Chains A and B, each alone.
Chain A
Amino acid sequence: MSRRRFGAWDATVLSLVFAFLYIPILIVVLFSFNASRLVTVWAGFSTRWYAALPGNGPLMEAAFITLRIGLASALAATLLGTLAAISLTRLGPFRFKGLLAGMVYAPLVMPEIITGLSLLLLFVAIGLDRGFWTIVLAHATFSTCFVAVVVQARLVTLDRSLEEAARDLGCTAPMAFIKVTLPLISTSVLAGFLLALTLSLDDLVIASFVSGPGATTLPMRIYGQARLGVTPEINAICSVLIGLVTVGVIAASLLVKRDLGRQLRS
């Protein structure tokens, strides 16, 4: 008996799951081009909701703030997360290693509402004014853990003898890391950065807790309107975001593919 091939059953499963995953998203995109304000009734193709977006001051401001928070927090998280990953895989045993591992894993599954509440209480306790920077601090904290896991996964599979060879040839440990290991894990570090950026751009719950006056993020705005019902304006802004993410993911995966191909050739 040969290995079970991909059959009709598997094709059915995949079609149903992909339909389930994508039809809701496609409906949002489709109806963002609806000329009518009534979202269920199709009244012809129109881009009027997109044309209205740049004129929506609060929305554009929120988008700009969200992007700045995302970049700042993702940069901090990439640095901290990479350091955490190195500590957990390359430094051998050290004091509090178990504690660090616990602090990296616990936030991954911690309900956002607990993280948000606890960070808010911390900022109030130390008298930090809530706003842009408190959101950056909060996002950098949970993103650090995701970056650490992504980079750790790559470091674990990396052949250590490369680093050892560099050491044998006279490199110091930090030098060997920078010259040999870092280029090899750079794709994972980049993937970690993109993950951190996405998590920050998406976050609603934690930002709602730690944000202050003047720092309303895009998810907070969308949420405020979505609670009132479905409108073509939200469909349009959501479609723009979906488009950006799709382009970003495709670009990133092409990058990874090129990188893998280069590694295989060399």
Chain B
Amino acid sequence: MTRRGSWKRALVPALPMLWLGALFLAPFAIIVRMSLSTAATAQPPYRPVFDLAAGWDRLRGDLGALDLANFATLFGDSLYVASLWSSLKLAGLATVILLLIGYPLALALSRLPPRWKPLGLALVILPFWTSFLIRVYAWIGILRPEGYLNTALLWLSVVDEPVAFLNTDFAIVLGLVYAYLPFMALPLFAAVDRLDPSLMEAAQDLGAPRWKAFWLVMLPLSLPGAVAGALLVFIPAVGEVVVPDLLGGSDTLMIGRTLWSEFFSNRDWPLASALAIMLLAALLPPILIYRAVEARRWETAR
């Protein structure tokens, strides 16, 4: 590449970099600052408010007013730790169920005749293009006490009285599995579809039963796709708001919903920010693993 016009070339990465730096990276510094502040019934609803024009002494006093009180609250009140723990459990359970659905689904898709493969894939992707909100909403009508599922079960005399499906942890996991299925299916399909089928055949020719061939050949070779899919589901699911709010009960604890109500109902911006940092700290390891896995997947795709 020539040196000539290199400043013009620098503009190409500079534009997205400045944008994402200002609107994605910089706000994290503001979250940290907010998490060290104190909620106040004022406009804006927190103290201290930095005012550079008020002079250095005032600013120093305001800086001194920042403290870790919100984090003491988070770890002192069992509600917050419990809601993080319960989010990790529910998201983890949904991820495991999705892996169990995802593998047979990906294998079935990869075995479709070439003519039908695009259609099969499109049918898996299509719900992803439909509004997330609508797809979660659809389950309210099904799971309600007087909903379609209970009506069907009563009619079939499977149960004598309506079962409480809605507003339970079961409904949340079901909603997560339903909403995130495409995110698991696509990376898994990509990993399974590019495998040479003769590898599985070789294992079976050498006497391995089908489950053993899967366990020893298919699983290790498709692991990057499975890990990518699992993290693509798990990370957003931990912070999910809509699913627990519409399908979960009033006593359901999920950290996204807890943060949401601290912010919107209690107007406690500093505590909500401290919760966001706690959530982010819990999700940082999976985010970094996801980044590493994706980088390697790009390398092998090249």
Residues of A within 8 A of B (CB): 1, 3-7, 9-11, 13-14, 17-18, 20-22, 24-25, 27-28, 31, 39-40, 80-81, 83-84, 86-87, 91-92, 94, 96-97, 99-107, 109-115, 117-119, 121-122, 124-125, 137-138, 140-141, 144-145, 148, 156-157, 173-174, 198, 201-202, 204-205, 208-209, 219, 222-223, 226-227, 229-230, 234, 238, 241-242, 245-246, 248-249, 253
Contact = CB atoms under 8 A, between A and B. Distances in A.
A105 B294 contact: yes
Contacts of B301: 156-157
B108 A14 contact: yes
B290 A109 contact: yes
Interface in B130-147: 130-135, 137-142, 144, 146-147
Determine which residue in A13, A81, A118, A148 has the highest number of CB atoms from chain B within 10 A of its CB, and name it: A118
Nearest to B210: A4
Contacts of B132: 202, 204
A152 B139 CA distance: 36
Contacts of A28: 134, 137-138, 141
B15 A80 contact: yes
Nearest to B142: A24
B263 A117 contact: yes
Contact of A106 (B21, B129, B256, B287): B287
Contacts of B151: 40
Contacts of A3: 197-198, 201
A225 to B, nearest CB: 9
B141 to A, nearest CB: 4
A100 B16 contact: yes
Contact of B34 (A25, A111, A119, A121): A121
Interface in B242-266: 242, 245-246, 256, 259-260, 263-264
Contacts of B263: 117, 209
B24 A238 contact: no
Contacts of A124: 44
A248 to B, nearest CB: 8
A238 B235 contact: no
B64 interface: no
B131 A202 contact: yes
B231 interface: yes
Given A31-B141, A39-B141, A10 B111 contact: yes
Contacts of B20: 84, 100, 103-104, 107, 141, 144-145
Nearest to A223: B133
Contacts, number: 249
Contacts of A102: 291
Contact of B259 (A87, A92, A113): A113
Contact of A103 (B25, B205, B272, B276): B25
Nearest to A230: B141
B221 interface: no
Closest 9 CB pairs of A and B: A111-B239, A118-B27, A87-B13, A10-B108, A24-B138, A84-B16, A103-B20, A122-B27, A6-B111
Contact of A83 (B15, B109, B295): B15
A26 B10 CA distance: 50
A159 B147 CA distance: 55
Nearest to A237: B134
A111 B105 contact: no
A103 B21 contact: yes
Given A113-B239, A202-B133, A242-B130, A156 B298 contact: yes
B187 to A, nearest CB: 12
B245 A4 contact: no
A97 B295 CA distance: 13
A8 B73 CA distance: 56
B127 A21 contact: yes
Given A86-B12, A103-B21, A226-B133, A117 B120 contact: no
